[in-house]
Amino acid sequence: MALTALGSSARAETLPQRSILRNTLPLTILAASSQRVRASTGRPVRQTISGPYPLSLNSLWNRKIGIYGLGRIGKAIGRRLEGFELPINYHNRRPVAGCAYQYYSSLHNLAMAVDTLICAVPGNAATDGSINADILQALGPTGILINIGRSKTVDQDALIFCLENKIISAAGPDVFANESCVSDEMLMLENTSRRPHIAPASVDARGAVANLVIDNLLSWIKTGKTITPIE
């Protein structure tokens, strides 16, 4: 059987994208980033702290959301954020037909208009390095960056600099440059809510992918066609 042909004609990508974990993890990271969950972890309950309370500098209240990449995942994130009654804006290469969210034709203009930027774009030459120092500066000192897309989309050196110097408030990356050896500078930052690249990972999603692989194989054997062809 031509497994190469099968591999080129089918994929199980749609299942992890529909995974509850992948569509809700950005909200989890956003809440953790805004409430400084990492910085407060390990502190005694009701610990006495003198001076201004240093931990929860932000909240989700009245935040303006910007989604960079309104594809299937971006739309799913947007639908869930609607439940928080937050204004949602987005940037794509072109407007999405029938979408009620505010569209911005440039990423810079989107970052200027919001204080929460969620990156869900695919990795390619057009998006690599697109979230750079200028974009982070535009996001501003109350800004939060969430990245569940590709690590190359974000200039990590610029992100570290902006976090260290309070140019933005916090970040929640699920992906990193050189994930096998994340930089010490990134690991030391308390104003991050890092996740180990688990956005598409759940037991249910992985099991569904395995089942779909089997279903595709059986369909290919019986009919010469796959259930989930690449369009």
Q: What pLDDT shows up at residue 194?
A: 62
Q: Quick one: fold of 15-31+57-200?
A: Rossmann fold (3.40.50)
The answer to whether 186 touches 194, Cβ cutoff 8 Å, is yes
* Annotation marks residue 150 as catalytic: yes
Q: What pLDDT shows up at residue 118?
A: 94
Which secondary structure element, helix H or strand E, spans residue 68, and what is its range? strand 65-68
* Annotation marks residue 190 as catalytic: no
Q: Which of 30-44, 98-112, 193-207, 210-224 has the lowest mean pLDDT?
A: 30-44
Q: Which of 150, 185, 190, 206 is catalytic?
A: 150
Paired sense of beta strands 102-103 and 88-91, if any: parallel
Q: In angstroms, rounded to a whole number, what is the distance separating the alpha carbons of residues 149 and 147? A: 6
* Annotation marks residue 108 as catalytic: no
Domain boundaries, the chain: 15-31+57-200, 201-230
Q: Taking the complete model, does pTM exceed 0.75, yes or no?
A: no
The mean pLDDT of 15-25, rounded to a whole number, is: 52
Paired sense of beta strands 144-147 and 116-119, if any: parallel
* Higher pLDDT, residue 158 or 200: 158
Q: Which of 11, 72, 197, 206 is catalytic?
A: 197
Q: In angstroms, rounded to a whole number, what is the distance separating the alpha carbons of residues 71 and 191? A: 28
pLDDT grade, residue 53 (50/70/90)? Answer: low
pLDDT grade, residue 186 (50/70/90)? Answer: confident
Q: In angstroms, rounded to a whole number, what is the distance separating the alpha carbons of residues 216 and 21? A: 24
Q: Which of 43, 79, 164, 179 is catalytic?
A: 179
